[in-house]
Amino acid sequence: MEKSGFSLLLFSGDYDKCLAAMILANGARDLEMEVDVFCAFWGLLLLRDPEKLSMEDKDVYEKMFTLATPAGAEALPLSKMNMAGMGKQMLLNMMASQESPDLVSFLHGAFKKGVRFHACELSMKIMGFESEELLPEVTVKTVHDYLQQARKAEIQLFI
Amino acid sequence: MEKSGFSLLLFSGDYDKCLAAMILANGARDLEMEVDVFCAFWGLLLLRDPEKLSMEDKDVYEKMFTLATPAGAEALPLSKMNMAGMGKQMLLNMMASQESPDLVSFLHGAFKKGVRFHACELSMKIMGFESEELLPEVTVKTVHDYLQQARKAEIQLFI
Amino acid sequence: MEKSGFSLLLFSGDYDKCLAAMILANGARDLEMEVDVFCAFWGLLLLRDPEKLSMEDKDVYEKMFTLATPAGAEALPLSKMNMAGMGKQMLLNMMASQESPDLVSFLHGAFKKGVRFHACELSMKIMGFESEELLPEVTVKTVHDYLQQARKAEIQLFI
């Protein structure tokens, strides 16, 4: 069977890794590849709707976790050289001076171009995310769904 | 030639990344895929038998390294928000409240389901691990063995 | 179409992850696989020529970035246990006592064996790298170039 499509398992919640993921996803759509981004663990933070943080139906650990983690794509830290946010500001300034779009712009570009976003059901359960807290473009999927889709893809990456 | 199987190169020794790796490995076995997990560098820490730390035949650096690194799967740190162990305890509590198994349970589940575990020979040499220090289910393999196996797999990930 | 070759997207600038990447790249050449290493973001630091740091035509952020980042392969930090360089020295000592080559030796081995190295154009733009600052063996490529090549490869990894 001929393989096709680009499958990305986004585990990381670092600004720079999410940026790399979105650049790849957008680029693959430009080449008319089908693109599926499956967000698990910290990668779920990319899909969080900053307007919809919820404390309802959460136990104390889930509430602490909700408060302790970044409230949306632009709040994510760098994987390296974060230096209390200074390194990230530097990167943002360098991107702005090159007129490069920021992470949220790449994310919304990906939505428009038809990149499919999936949230890992098990990660949501462990981390206490409700689907109402995620951006509306996201569908919830299982690990089995991910694997079934990834095995048909031409390119699979874990970021 | 038709490709088959799931090949995972586990480089990371972070609790959360190892957990993701074990969830994927168990999930792929549920789908009756052959699964090979090749552990290199910090990934070897997952395979360490906490009962069998050894100081024999080790030089001073290898001894320091043996003492400075986590002594088994449950001792591994988080990749993010570890905060001197506080974040990890939070994650463990969240997992427990969802009745999600811990890392050691996923690891033993993987052994039972027939996931094959390999330890990278070169990494063992560099880090001073003896094969007696690893769990008995593990076989030692070379980088060439890894590559030969990975090129036949349907899915290859580096975690 | 039969797939062939090994495609590696090197995002990380950590000493240990770059070492793993170079060991895999060299190993794949031993097996006569075609190998392409596409360096993006921090991975560009591996390809920096320590003799050729430049401040010309850089804005203030790019200059700060040039100074704040490691000046070549051997200056890269560890991803774990770096402990202000102590952990890295420990690893280097362990490697030396096993007569294992260091990162620069693996990199030059890869050049000699015909591993192809590419620098991500967009990352260079964002981070303010000039192509004159990179080692002469490197060619500049776009994200589309990466994707077109990766989809034809037998193994694709993101490190």
Beta strands in chain C (DSSP E): 6-10, 35-39, 116-120, 138-141, 155-158
Q: Give the tens place of pLDDT for each residue, A26-77.
A: 999 999 999 999 999 999 999 988 888 777 778 777 777 777 788 778 888 8
Q: What is the pLDDT of residue A12?
A: 94
Distance from CA of A26 to the nearest CA of C (A): 10
ipTM of this complex prediction, to 2 decimal places: 0.91
Chain B residues touching residue C98 (CB < 8 angstroms): 125-126
Q: Identify the helix (H) or strand (E) that includes residue B15.
A: helix B15-30
AA identity, residue B76: L
Q: What is the pLDDT of residue C9?
A: 98
Q: What is the pLDDT of residue A136?
A: 94
Using the beta-carbon criterion (under 8 Å), do C94 and B61 form an inter-chain contact? yes
Using the beta-carbon criterion (under 8 Å), do A95 and C128 form an inter-chain contact? no
- Which residues have C-beta within 8 Å of that of residue A43, sequence separation ≥ 6? A9, A10, A11, A12, A13, A18, A123, A159
- Which residues have C-beta within 8 Å of that of residue C107, sequence separation ≥ 6? C22, C46, C73
Q: What is the pLDDT of residue B86?
A: 62
- Alpha-helical (H) ranges within A11-52 are 15-30
Q: Give the tens place of pLDDT for each residue, C86-145.
A: 678 878 888 888 888 889 999 999 999 999 999 999 999 988 888 999 999 999 999 999
Chain B positions contacting chain A at CB under 8 Å are 6, 16-17, 20, 23-24, 27-28, 30-31, 33, 79-81, 87, 90-91, 93-95, 97-98, 100, 154-159
Helix axes B15-30, A143-150, angle to 10 degrees: 70
Confidence of residue B104 (pLDDT cuts 50, 70, 90): very high
Q: What is the pLDDT of residue C128?
A: 84
Of B119 and C49, the one with more pLDDT: B119
Using the beta-carbon criterion (under 8 Å), do B144 and C97 form an inter-chain contact? no
Summary mean pLDDT of chain C: 89
CA distance A79 to A82: 7
Please name the member of B42, B144, B151 whose beta carbon is closest to the beta carbon of C30. B144
Chain C residues touching residue A31 (CB < 8 angstroms): 144, 147-148
| C-alpha dist (Å) from residue B116 to B6, B129, B139, B149 | 11, 19, 8, 12
- C64: pLDDT strictly greater than 80: no
Q: What is the pLDDT of residue C1?
A: 65
- B50: pLDDT strictly greater than 90: no
Collapse the DSSP code of C134 into the 3-class scheme (helix H, G, I; strand E, B; otherwise coil) and give the result.
strand
The 10 Å Cβ neighbour count of residue A50 is 14
- pTM reported for the whole predicted model: 0.92
Q: What is the pLDDT of residue A99?
A: 83
Chain A positions contacting chain B at CB under 8 Å are 9, 11, 13, 40-42, 59, 61-62, 64-65, 68-69, 122, 125-128, 143-144, 146-148, 150-151, 156-158
Confidence of residue C85 (pLDDT cuts 50, 70, 90): low
Q: What is the pLDDT of residue A1?
A: 65
Supply C110's token pair: 């890869």
Instruction: Select the residue from C113, C154, C156 to test the B interface by mutation, using most B Cβ atoms within 10 A.
Output: C154
Supply C20's token pair: 């793993």
Q: Which residue of C has its CA nearest to B68?
A: C81
Angle, alpha carbons A106-A111-A115 (nearest 5°): 100
Chain C residues touching residue A159 (CB < 8 angstroms): 11, 158
Instruction: Select the residue from C80, C81, C93 to test the B interface by mutation, using most B Cβ atoms within 10 A.
Output: C80
Give, rounded to a whole angstrom, the gap between the first and last alpha carbons of chain C. Answer: 26
Summary mean pLDDT of chain A: 89
CA distance C142 to C122: 7
CATH 1.10.260.40 describes domain A6-158: no
Using the beta-carbon criterion (under 8 Å), do C27 and B147 form an inter-chain contact? yes
- B81: pLDDT strictly greater than 70: no
Distance from CA of A90 to the nearest CA of C (A): 6
**Mean pLDDT score, B59-67:** 74
Is residue B44 within 8 A of residue B127, CB to CB? The reply is yes
Confidence of residue B10 (pLDDT cuts 50, 70, 90): very high
Q: What is the pLDDT of residue C83?
A: 57
Q: What is the pLDDT of residue B83?
A: 57
Q: What is the pLDDT of residue B82?
A: 64
Q: How far is CA B127 from the centre of its chain?
A: 15
CA distance C113 to C102: 16
CA distance C66 to C54: 8
Q: What is the pLDDT of residue B53?
A: 75
Q: What is the pLDDT of residue C39?
A: 98
- B20: pLDDT strictly greater than 90: yes
- Which residues have C-beta within 8 Å of that of residue C156, sequence separation ≥ 6? A155, A156, A157, B156, C7, C8, C9, C150
Q: How far is CA C49 from the centre of its chain?
A: 11
Q: Give the tens place of pLDDT for each residue, A110-128.
A: 999 999 999 999 999 988 8
Chain A residues touching residue B158 (CB < 8 angstroms): 158
| C-alpha dist (Å) from residue A144 to A127, A140, B24, B121, B157 | 19, 12, 8, 32, 16
State the Rg of chain B over Cα.
16
Q: What is the pLDDT of residue A93?
A: 82
Q: What is the pLDDT of residue B75?
A: 82
- C49: pLDDT strictly greater than 70: yes
> Can you give the residue ranges of every domain in chain B?
6-158
Tell which residue, B131, B127, B121, B128, has the closest CA to residue B57: B128
Instruction: Select the residue from B32, B79, B102 to test the A interface by mutation, using most A Cβ atoms within 10 A.
Output: B79
Q: What is the pLDDT of residue A82?
A: 64
Among the ranges given (A41-50, B17-26, B27-36, C138-147), the one the predictor scored with the smallest mean pLDDT: A41-50
CA distance C76 to C70: 6
